[in-house]
Amino acid sequence: MNGFARAALGATLMTVSLAHLSAGQTPARDDASFIWSKALPAGSSIVIRNYNGSIDVRESPNDRVEVRATKIATNRRASANDVSFNVREAGTETTICAVYDGVNICDERRRSIRNIEVRANFTVLIPRTMRLRLATGNGAISIDQAGADVTATTGNGRVSIGETTGRVDANTGNGDVQIESARGRVDVSTGNGRVFVATSTGPVNVSTGNGDITVRMRSLQAEAAMSMTSGSGSIRVTLPADYNGQLDASTGNGSLRSEFDISIVGRIDPRRVRGTIGRGGPVLRLHTGNGSVELRKG
């Protein structure tokens, strides 16, 4: 029995009613923790929406999805009673939302939530066959060996994703993003932070307002345009040795280097290179305002 299962078993007497919530039901506000568990068919979608707190996802040992949330008051004046949770089941999609002082994150996205000094930290066990969508306003997101198609969004916090089987879409307003052992298309955006992506199959698109970008792709199964941009930071991209495409690379202040032969188009410019790699194809755009750009063969 793993640590998560032992914790869930130990909390059963206190939270047994929470584990069997019907769709749309909100558990009592004075419970210190929340547990929801259910066996779902392959290909189902799990949606977690939070306002303040981390989300940690790991692989489930079976076909059950288990979601646990712990409420933590961040100062003496705060009360865990300000936060509850709402579960909705519709077809193959299950949505679990934090409810802050009566405001459901899923229903009232445009309404601001102020002076909530309680964190709701989620721990999720999910089979690899499930689709996963996560969002938190403030907190780190970590996913490892779990989920097929994955979407992870945080307003402020680091995003770390490892060994997924489908498409990955990761976004943070402020924080580093690290994606390893992906097996499909990857799209990353951060307002401020470094980005590292390693995937067996591209394409990959990355944008950061400030930070280095490192991307490694072992193969490209479909021809597609790709873009990697940084306001300030170096860009290092490793592509398959047989890569074919059009290159548009530039830097406001830095050097440009390539292990690929490039047929230059237009005049030679030390800060911008446009040309053809191999037999040509979709455009690969690499741009940084300040930093070097390096293109490597895998």
Given a contact cutoff of 8 angstroms between Cβ atoms, the answer to whether 37 and 12 are in contact is no
Coil, helix or strand at residue 277: strand
Helix or strand run (H / E) with residue 219: none
Given a contact cutoff of 8 angstroms between Cβ atoms, the answer to whether 100 and 112 are in contact is no
Give residue 198's pLDDT: 97
Give residue 256's pLDDT: 96
- Two structure tokens written together for 55: 């989300």
Give residue 65's pLDDT: 95
Give Cβ neighbours of residue 219 (< 8 Å, ≥ 6 apart): 200, 201, 202, 240
Per-residue model confidence as pLDDT tens for the chain (298 residues): 444 343 333 333 233 333 334 444 444 344 678 999 999 999 999 999 998 999 999 999 998 999 999 998 888 777 788 888 999 999 999 999 998 877 777 775 545 566 668 899 999 999 988 999 999 999 999 999 877 899 999 999 999 999 888 999 999 999 999 999 999 999 999 999 999 999 999 999 999 999 999 999 999 877 899 999 999 999 999 999 999 999 999 999 999 999 999 999 988 888 999 999 999 999 999 999 999 999 999 8
Please tell me the pTM assigned to this model. 0.86
Tell me the sheet residues that pair with 284: 226, 247
Q: Provide the pairing of β-strand 159-162 with 213-217.
A: unpaired
Q: How many CB atoms lie within 10 A of CB 142?
A: 20
